[in-house]
Structure 1
Amino acid sequence: MSKFPYDPANFPKVTLVNRLAEEKSPYLLQHAPNPVHWQPWDEATFALARRSNRPVFLSIGYATCHWCHVMERESFEDDEVAALLNAGFIPVKVDREERPDIDQTYMTVCQMMTGQGGWPLTLVLTPEKEPFFAATYLPRESRPGQPGLIYLLQRIAEAWRGDESGIRHSAGQLCQALADIRDPKREAQPLNDAPLRRALDEYRRDYDADWGGFGAAPKFPAPHNLSLLVRLARRFDHPEATAMVLHTLRAIRQGGVYDQLGYGLHRYAVDRQWHIPHFEKMLYDQATFILAAVEAYQATGAEDLLATARDTAAYLLAELVDDLGAFHCGEDADSEGAEGTYYLWRNEEIEAILGREDAVLFFAAYGLEGEKGLREGMVLRQALPFEALATSPKLDLATLTARLDQARRQLLAVRQKRVRPFRDDKILVAWNGLAIAALARLGAVTGDIELIQAARRAAVFIGTHLRRSDGRLLRRWRENQAAIPGFLEDYAFFAWGRLELFLADFREKDLDDALTLTKEMLKLFDDGQGGLFDEASDAEEILDRSCNPMDGALPSGSSVAAANLLRLGRLLERRDLEARGETLLKKGMAEFVKHPRAYAQQLCALDLALSPPLEIVLAASSESSEVRSMLDAVRRRFLPEGFLLLHSPDTDEGTKRIPFLGGKTAKDGEARAYLCRDRSCRAPVVGLQAFQILLDEIDS
């Protein structure tokens, strides 16, 4: 074993054991067998670090992270690395999905120090949690241009013993710089459409006209960018923006980045063409992709996009749903020790399963793509639209589609017998909130009650199992244990889900719950300056409380909170809530203009704030077939600033919560439709045909 360039006996003696077997996080449990004496992030761990005066080696990742697995195999399962870590450090493991506060804090540090970020995230801290070294993945041994973990551990431990005071001073300066970056003091500016115009210009500039998406490889789907683009196309009457959305969604759906057999979106494509994916599948990507596809369908009427949303929802309900109704976090990229093994195919394998004739047809529809590194096979992608292959009466489109779907099912059945990727089965409130919102929206647009019921089962699970006795929302549930006080994104995303459920089937309890969550959110996360902290006032403070409205792989909690406040304020005629949402946006206007694409979900909320309110009420004594047709006529249109409500005049309960329902009644048993724009109402109309004409006037 390599020797320390100092005497490890100089360290105070500490008895350590790997404590991760006591945890619930699948990621932490993956590292429980390591020879590294991993500790969880808790006060006992840092008390030990202070008592022994050892630096803390902090490793942050998640259970489905490919490079986290690589670093584990290379280093954390290695006895020499373990000996160095155990002798000179207090090693700490954190699941970034359980603790976004820790992850966000130290990811910002890593980006400050190195100009980049990612997982696994590697830091070294003082016993007071102040960072002084940051990196991402590190190889075991040094490579040209990249020091190895063994070398770094030796150098860092030596430096700590030789110049602890200097290191502490530098760490303190770094923490001050971090505090300056995260200072929530921002001057409020009036709301205007300048960030929206700037965003449209940037999307046009970076758009890949050949393959869809934006920029070069690697390409992330980033569905909330597409949701924003749909709004920009509508606001500025910009057909080019609509075309960008359609092209990108179709390129993703037809590419290897989308699972052509079992459905669902992989994390990103490593190439410009969307052909070769990084294979992990995350719940939040599926949810935001469904929302983007549904909105693009509403804006264009493109039925294939609605089918894409349905397919993605089918993946959620087949592979990520828990027996109790909520949704798991995602699936790994790796199986059998390599990335993508579960998803890859060889030509001869497909031919043996399908037979020669159907294989030829399948290969014509679905190409196979590979590259160096995918040694075990190639990725399926849709090479040609099915319509292009239906060239004879003998092989009409319906027959072709049925044969190809049968071939897909045959291959899927064979694939399901392979060793599956690991599934991270913990349940997170925030990510479930996104899934609930997506399924409720899709169910409302399609009239598929089963999707709405699936969303409701998840919402009931969270309300039942992830609330403390005092009402405090908790973040994570696994193996009958709920833990970790919820963060801003948990409250905001779950409130969004409850609001979408209300708009899907008009149950007033959903509206009540959305409002209650929002009120609790404002109490727990208010920063005193018009913004919202990401961590609550009762949470552990990691260096300081953060206020980060920037949208990343997920929308930020602040962006969804702003939209929730605007929508609830308008729906309930609560000007205080609407004004609070506007203030959140006003505080960010300067940054929105500078970096609009970094705030895509925030700009969706800004688009809402700048749009005149729209309320559509169907007053009906019963939900007849005509009423259902009238509901569908609205829901299949893209009206992001609008509310559609079904009101039964037999009760006045709804008018107590939603004042603009007052006085809106049916006529002689027939449904009567009311449309109010910018708080000015048109004369009511009766019947589907008159209602369609009224809706057409909105879009004209």
Structure 2
Amino acid sequence: MNRLAHETSPYLLQHADNPVDWWPWSDEAFHEARKRNVPVLLSVGYSSCHWCHVMAHESFEDAETADYLNEHFVSVKVDREERPDVDAVYMEAVQAATGQGGWPMTVFLTPDAEPFYFGTYFPPAPRHGMPSFRQVLQGVRQAWGDRREEVAEVAGKIVRDLAGRELAYGDTEAPGQEEQAQALLGLTREYDPQRGGFGGAPKFPPSMVLEFLLRHHARTGSEGALQMAQDTCERMARGGIYDQLGGGFARYSVDRDWVVPHFEKMLYDNALLCRVYAHLWRATGSDLARRVALETADFLVRELRTAEGGFASALDADSDDGSGRHVEGAFYVWTPAQLAEVLGPDDAELAAQYFGVTEEGTFEEGASVLQLPQSEGVFDAERVESIRRRLFGARAGRPAPGRDDKVVAAWNGLAVAALAETGAYFDRPDLVDAAIGAADLLVRLHMDEHARLARTSKDGRAGANAGVLEDYADVAEGFLALASVTGEGVWLEFAGLLLGQVLTQFTDGSGALYDTAADAEKLIRRPQDPTDSAAPSGWTAAAGALLSYAAQTGSEPHRLAAERALGVVKALGPRVPRFVGWGLAVAEALLDGPREVAIAGPALDDPGTRALHRTALLGIAAGAVVAVGTPGGEEFPLLVDRVLVGGKPTAYVCRNFTCDAPTTDPELLRRALSG
């Protein structure tokens, strides 16, 4: 076993028995490189990354390659999900140097952590115009030995170039209606009207953009925005990217039609999409949206919840195909013969029609990914449900994909928000309880007495890596949603503590935000990125949480910080709306107020209070915040001075320092929050 044996990251532990003498990212590793006067190999990946596993098997498990690495390099392994700051800094360098990026990421550094040679996956033998990994190692070693001054010059230039890329943040004014309309127009140009979604293959679920479209429709009544959201959600839910038996979404589709996924399932994708489909149902009443939201929530709880109550990061794409081969998608795909083996010939024929399983297959080796290519209305619903149950049971007997049990604070915050709201919308208290369990774990294990967050934990043990901006923002977002759903003000208090850290540790005074805290480990540059990737950027997620907290508490510093942080969305939204979807969604909330809803009632289990509370949660007004409790309750500032009207539970709706007349009628409240 090498030095990774004592780490908490499942990805690092996968490499703990490699013959490579791996080091975790640490000062000690770079000290060792200086002492030996050798370069550093930095290899970055994550547990469910297919090509990371391939390169590990081909190169890092090879004794001859390992011997060469151990003699001429100090090898450092990083889990990008555990250290997003390290990943971001060096990925920026890789993309700047090569025009592309991805994982595994392979970077060669000086002992001062300055990069000088870059790549991603390298094969064990030359192919497709790529050098072999051994050739790369030999070339780097020769350059280090014979052209050290040239290497130092290149490394210094790269570091200077990266330093010059720091965001020039001038405009701190939030987007207005004109910028939002321009962003919608830009999305319309990139929209795929035949297939849903944006752009070509590979096609990723546009979770943050969908949230913007729903909020924009709520605020403006734009039917075009709603149509894009509805059609994209339907195409994804009917495609192979959605697990038609067990619920939940794969990472992305390799084709434009959502047919063949990259089969890994990520916590952040499913938390975000669960919430999107719940919000789509709230806006439209769609039965499809309701089913997908609940099935995705059930997937999260069934397959990703850990023994400690948190949620694991991911399920692998690969699994054993039953014959000893580790194959991508093996757990999920079916042939007609496999359907017949489980269902018998008659039901197998129906299942093949219903799920689009063909003799030719839609995937590899004649296997098909299950889809819903036809209208379900032409099939017998009871018979189909019986088929679905039997296939799901049979699939459970297959070798399961590996699970990355690492609990990431940010992604658990997203799951808390999704499960809390989905449970409240559909009267599923078990889902709300699951959200509370994850929130409890975040407070108990990830959050210290100074409200500083640990990025990860595993098996009830907090990792050593500090939380980054997205952790503080997304956990605060989850706590704010939980406060609105449960009426427990302690979650509002915890959110306030985390957002206090955002204001003191992650801002620069101009409105810009950094991804790492002011007192975090110093890298070759301090990472800073306002654009979304697979999840909301920490920058715009913080803006959203700050705005909601300000609406709940009346805090002017939090609102001002949110407005100033949205200045970057004003600049980027009209030009690249697909990459600032969450920021555009937050800007919709700001333009709408956001509306502040206080429900004063004698008790949460009072029928009148429950009716008003549920109506408030189902209001589609963009970014509305909800507080519920006893009249004048101190846990929620919105309840101060709120009294019962005629002795009945009463709702108050305010925005922009103006309040509607209080009402005891759920229907009048619904109209006040109808967009």
Consecutive unaligned residues in structure 1, runs of 5 or more: 1-16, 390-399
Q: Tell whether 2:366 aligns with 1:380.
A: no
Q: Which amino acid aligns with 1:142?
A: P
CA distance in 2, matches of 1:402, 1:637: 34
2:409 is matched with which residue: 429, 434, 455? 429
CA distance in 1, matches of 2:378, 2:367: 26
Q: Which amino acid aligns with 1:378?
A: S
Find the residue that maps to 2:597 and give its secondary structure.
strand
CA distance in 2, matches of 1:107, 1:186: 26
Name the residue aligned to 1:276: 260
Cα separation, partners in 2 of 1:48 and 1:509, compared to 1, 3 Å = same
Find the residue that maps to 2:82 and give its secondary structure.
coil
Output one character per residue of 1:427-461: Cα deviation in whole Å (capped at 9) or x when no partner.
11111111001111112222322111110000111
Find the residue that maps to 2:308 and give its secondary structure.
coil
Output one character per residue of 1:368-390: Cα deviation in whole Å (capped at 9) or x when no partner.
2676862272211112232122x
Name the residue aligned to 1:12: none
1:600 is matched with which residue: 581, 587, 592? 581
2:395 is matched with which residue: 410, 415, 431? 415
Q: Tell whether 2:661 aligns with 1:683.
A: yes
Once the two structures are superposed, the pairs formed by residues 358-369 of structure 1 within 5 Å of their partners are: 358-368=347-357
Once the two structures are superposed, the pairs formed by residues 457-606 of structure 1 within 5 Å of their partners are: 457-468=437-448, 470-483=450-463, 484-606=465-587
Find the residue that maps to 1:169 and give its secondary structure.
helix
Contact 1:182–1:548 (Cα < 8 Å) also in 2: no
- Comparing 29-38 and 44-53, the one that deviates more: 29-38
Q: Which amino acid aligns with 2:601?
A: A
- Comparing 137-146 and 587-596, the one that deviates more: 587-596
Contact 1:344–1:376 (Cα < 8 Å) also in 2: no
Find the residue that maps to 1:140 and give its secondary structure.
coil
Q: Which amino acid aligns with 1:253?
A: A
Contact 1:256–1:380 (Cα < 8 Å) also in 2: yes
Q: Which amino acid aligns with 1:350?
A: L
Q: How many residues align?
A: 667
Deviation at 1:116, TM superposition (A): 1.0
Once the two structures are superposed, the pairs formed by residues 317-466 of structure 1 within 5 Å of their partners are: 317-336=301-320, 337-368=326-357, 374-375=364-365, 377-389=367-379, 400-466=380-446
Find the residue that maps to 1:653 and give its secondary structure.
coil
Once the two structures are superposed, the pairs formed by residues 255-266 of structure 1 within 5 Å of their partners are: 255-266=239-250
1:120 is matched with which residue: 87, 104, 108? 104
- Comparing 107-116 and 400-409, the one that deviates more: 400-409
CA distance in 2, matches of 1:190, 1:316: 35
Q: Tell whether 2:18 aligns with 1:37.
A: no
Cα separation, partners in 2 of 1:616 and 1:22, compared to 1, 3 Å = closer
Name the residue aligned to 2:598: 617
Once the two structures are superposed, the pairs formed by residues 183-262 of structure 1 within 5 Å of their partners are: 183=167, 185-189=169-173, 191-262=175-246
Q: Which amino acid aligns with 1:662?
A: V
Output one character per residue of 1:363-411: Cα deviation in whole Å (capped at 9) or x when no partner.
222112676862272211112232122xxxxxxxxxx323222211211
Name the residue aligned to 2:49: 65
Find the residue that maps to 1:683 and give its secondary structure.
coil
CA distance in 2, matches of 1:244, 1:33: 48
Cα separation, partners in 2 of 1:163 and 1:256, compared to 1, 3 Å = same
Deviation at 1:527, TM superposition (A): 2.3
Deviation at 1:424, TM superposition (A): 0.4
Name the residue aligned to 2:93: 109
Deviation at 1:278, TM superposition (A): 0.5
Cα separation, partners in 2 of 1:210 and 1:617, compared to 1, 3 Å = same
Name the residue aligned to 1:629: 611
Q: Which amino acid aligns with 2:195?
A: W
Q: Tell whether 2:667 aligns with 1:692.
A: yes
Name the residue aligned to 2:323: none
Deviation at 1:66, TM superposition (A): 0.6
Find the residue that maps to 1:123 and give its secondary structure.
strand
CA distance in 1, matches of 2:423, 2:475: 17
Output one character per residue of 1:80-117: Cα deviation in whole Å (capped at 9) or x when no partner.
32233222211111000100010011111111011111
Find the residue that maps to 1:610 and give its secondary structure.
helix
Q: Which structure exhibits the higher relative contact order, with contacts defined as CA atoms closer than 8 Å and separated by 6 or more residues? A: 2
Deviation at 1:119, TM superposition (A): 0.7
- Comparing 619-628 and 420-429, the one that deviates more: 619-628
Deviation at 1:633, TM superposition (A): 2.7
Deviation at 1:679, TM superposition (A): 2.3
Once the two structures are superposed, the pairs formed by residues 309-320 of structure 1 within 5 Å of their partners are: 309-320=293-304
Contact 1:617–1:661 (Cα < 8 Å) also in 2: yes
Deviation at 1:638, TM superposition (A): 1.2
CA distance in 1, matches of 2:96, 2:38: 24
Name the residue aligned to 1:136: 120
CA distance in 1, matches of 2:600, 2:534: 41
CA distance in 2, matches of 1:639, 1:329: 31
Calculate the TM-score normalised by the size of structure 1. 0.92
CA distance in 2, matches of 1:197, 1:61: 38
Contact 1:447–1:632 (Cα < 8 Å) also in 2: no
Output one character per residue of 1:139-191: Cα deviation in whole Å (capped at 9) or x when no partner.
11112422221211111111111111111111111111111113454443454
Contact 2:186–2:576 (Cα < 8 Å) also in 1: no
Q: Which amino acid aligns with 1:77?
A: E
Q: Which amino acid aligns with 1:383?
A: P
Contact 1:530–1:587 (Cα < 8 Å) also in 2: no
CA distance in 2, matches of 1:387, 1:625: 37
Deviation at 1:541, TM superposition (A): 1.2
CA distance in 2, matches of 1:244, 1:191: 22
Contact 2:616–2:669 (Cα < 8 Å) also in 1: no
CA distance in 2, matches of 1:619, 1:169: 67
Find the residue that maps to 2:574 and give its secondary structure.
helix
Name the residue aligned to 1:664: 642
Q: Which amino acid aligns with 1:597?
A: R
Find the residue that maps to 1:241 and give its secondary structure.
helix
Find the residue that maps to 1:258 and give its secondary structure.
coil
Contact 2:551–2:625 (Cα < 8 Å) also in 1: no
1:647 is matched with which residue: 623, 629, 633? 629
Deviation at 1:564, TM superposition (A): 1.1
- Comparing 479-488 and 121-130, the one that deviates more: 479-488
Moved over 6 A (4+): none
Deviation at 1:549, TM superposition (A): 1.1
Q: Tell whether 2:12 aligns with 1:28.
A: yes
Larger Rg: 1
CA distance in 2, matches of 1:46, 1:184: 32
Q: Which amino acid aligns with 1:636?
A: L
Name the residue aligned to 1:285: 269
Find the residue that maps to 2:573 and give its secondary structure.
helix
Find the residue that maps to 1:271 and give its secondary structure.
coil
Contact 2:619–2:674 (Cα < 8 Å) also in 1: no
CA distance in 2, matches of 1:372, 1:619: 55
RMSD: 1.9
Q: Which amino acid aligns with 2:318?
A: D
Q: Which amino acid aligns with 1:348?
A: A
Question: Identity, % of aligned pairs?
Answer: 37
- Comparing 620-629 and 135-144, the one that deviates more: 620-629
2:64 is matched with which residue: 66, 71, 80? 80
Q: Which amino acid aligns with 2:394?
A: V
Q: Which amino acid aligns with 2:381?
A: T
Contact 1:434–1:497 (Cα < 8 Å) also in 2: yes
Q: Which amino acid aligns with 1:670?
A: K
Contact 1:436–1:459 (Cα < 8 Å) also in 2: yes
CA distance in 2, matches of 1:459, 1:680: 33
